[in-house]
Amino acid sequence: GSSTPSSPSASAQGGSAAAGGKIGIDFPRTDSDFWNSYNKYVPKLAGELGVDLMPPTNSQNDVAKLVSNTQALVSQGAKAIVMAPQDTGAIATTLDQLAGKNIPVVTVDTRPDKGKTFMVVRADNRAYGEKACEFLGEQLKGKGKVVEFQGSLSSVNGRDRSEAFAECMKANYPGITVFAEPTEWEGTKASAALQTRLTQHPDINGIYMQAGGVFLAPTLQLLKSKNLLVPPTDPKHIFIISNDGIPQEFQAIRDGQIDATVSQPADLYAKWALSYAKAALEGKTFAPGKTDHDSTIVDVGGGRLEDQLPAPLVTKENVDDPNLWGNQVG
């Protein structure tokens, strides 16, 4: 039998004999606003969902650490694991080992290249890139120069966003020149690149930053010092779209400093990751199709399921929507 969970406490179908058991969770990193919000939602939601959560481990963006953390969680008795492997290839062996021990795994944010997972909870990163491309393309009416702060090439999310953005630009807006700046997710690199680029091409009129948490402040600061932080009505205005959905981005949208962001649902990540892990322990199974929470479960090949959560585009119109996670944290 299969079901779509209608709520976290959906009734068990596969018999709840195996229900219960500790859930181990590994946090990928603690030095970005997005992940910090996620890290904060997890224990809160675990309480609400009635999940028996072990003390979370932290792999500090290092897959080797993630592997050892997982092993430690298992030896401490974890019956299900939630993780967010930032390096999607290097986790394959671990997933196989966990599968061998019948420990279901829910991955958040990234889809492992290989290996068995119970569910992948993520937003579609390619969609981020496409949304950003479409937004800028429309605002600039298909003409102009755009600077793109790429993430690290060795991160899937960065690569997905970059590729989708580039493909969409090429296909739909050939009149827009894109300067793709490699930043390794570093604010200083982005700031330096933008400064250089603005000197070289003073007529730049669009910016796509792949991570607002890292690039927002440096970009605004630089534009301010160049007197380029002007309202959209001004012809000098540079259109900026960001990814993440942190409160500071919302504030910047309200202030007219940036124009849009794609809200990456930190709260939903936490909520559904825990729900699926719990469901796995309760013996439930799922099938592709629409869910009751505005998302779709898709089969990404080999029977691996992925719940693609909605990642709304936030602009001045909907920036005050209280449902956005960025409006729920301090």
Partner 1 sequence: MTETTVTSPGTPGGPPGTAGGTGRGPSGLRLARFRDLALVPAILLLVVVGALIEPAFLSGDNLTNVLQQQTELSLLVLAEAVILIAGKFDLSLESTVGLAPALGVALVIPAASNGLGTDWPAALGIPICLLIGVLVGAFNGLLILRFKLSAFIVTLGMLIVLRGLQIGFTGGQNLFALPDSFLYLGNARWVGLPASVWICGLAYAIGIVALGYFRHGRSVYAIGGNVDAARAAGVRTDRVLWTVFMIGGLLAALAGLLMTGRLGSVAASQGNGMIFTVFAAAVIGGVSLDGGKGTLFGALCGVLVLGLINNILTLAGVSAQWIQAIYGGIILIALMLARVTSGKAQD
Which residues, 199 to 258, sit near partner 1 by CB under 8 A?
Answer: 199-200, 213-214, 216-218, 220-222, 224-225, 248
CB 79 within 8 A of CB 25: no
Total residues at the site for partner 1 (CB under 8 A)? 73
Shortest Cβ distance from residue 330 to partner 1 (Å)? 6
CB of 291 to partner 1, least distance (A): 29
Closer residue to partner 1 (CB): 197 or 304? 197
One residue of 197, 237, 293, 304 binding partner 1 per CB under 8 A: 197
Calpha distance 248→294 (Å, rounded): 26
Contact status, residue 314 vs residue 260, Cβ threshold 8 Å? yes
| Selected binder of partner 1 within 49, 69, 118, 129 (CB under 8 A) | 69
Minimum distance, C-beta of residue 210 to partner 1, in the bound complex (Å): 12
Q: Which of 2, 7, 11, 93 binds partner 1 (CB under 8 A)?
A: 93
Cα 103 from Cα 79, distance rounded (Å) = 6
| Closest to partner 1 by CB, 1 or 55 | 55
Q: How far apart are the C-alpha atoms of 275 and 111, rounded to whole Å? A: 18
Q: With respect to partner 1, which residue has the nearer C-beta, 176 or 279?
A: 176
3-state secondary structure of 139: helix
* DSSP class per residue in 224-281: HHTT----TTSTTPPEEEEEE--HHHHHHHHTTSS-EEEEP-HHHHHHHHHHHHHHHH
DSSP sequence for 48-65? HHT--BPPPEE-TT-HHH
Q: Which of 188, 289, 299, 316 binds partner 1 (CB under 8 A)?
A: 188
47 binds partner 1 (CB under 8 A): no
Among 130, 160, 181, 259, binds partner 1 (CB under 8 A): 181
Our CB check for partner 1 shows the closer of 39 and 295 to be: 39
Task: List the interface residues with partner 1, window 266-325 (CB under 8 A).
Answer: none
For the chain, percent helix, then strand, then coil, each to nearest 5?
A: 40, 20, 40
Q: Closest approach of Cβ 193 to partner 1, in Å?
A: 5
With CB under 8 A as the contact rule, the residue among 12, 18, 19, 92 that binds partner 1 is 92
Considering Cα of 248, then 249, then 250, then 256, what sign does the dihedral take? Answer: positive
* Residue pair 70/62 in contact by the 8 Å Cβ criterion: no
**Candidate residues 7, 16, 154, 328; the one interacting with partner 1 per rule CB under 8 A:** 154
What is the Cα Rg of the chain in Å?
21
The residue within the footprint of partner 1, chosen from 52, 62, 134, 167 (CB under 8 A), is: 62
Print the binding letters for residues 109-148 with partner 1: x by CB under 8 A, - otherwise.
----xxx---------------------------------
